Structure 1
Amino acid sequence: MLPEQTETITRVIFNIVKEHGPHTIVETWEPVKEVGLGGLTG
């Protein structure tokens, strides 16, 4: 994975938690999948 991809993924996850409060891994994973970040499997 390229550093740019890692940065994008980190930013998306941070924004989800920031906007919607604390989440479990599962509660965070659903919105991440909805955003459509390619290449993530788990």
Structure 2
Amino acid sequence: MLPEQTETITRAIFNIVKEHGPLTVAETWKRIKEVGLGGLTG
């Protein structure tokens, strides 16, 4: 994974938690899937 991709994914997850948190890990994964954030497997 490229550093730019890592930064994009990190920012997206941060924004999800900021907007919807606090979240459990399962809830976070659900939100990630909803926004279509690709490239993550676990």
TM-score, normalized by length of structure 2? 0.84
Aligned ranges 1:1-42 → 2 under 5 Å = 1-42=1-42
Runs of 4 or more above 4 Å deviation: none
Deviation string for 1:12-39 (max 9, x for gaps)? 1100110112111101011111111222
Identical-residue share of aligned pairs (%): 83
TM-score, normalized by length of structure 1? 0.84
Gaps of 5+ in 2: none
RMSD over equivalenced CA pairs, Å: 0.9
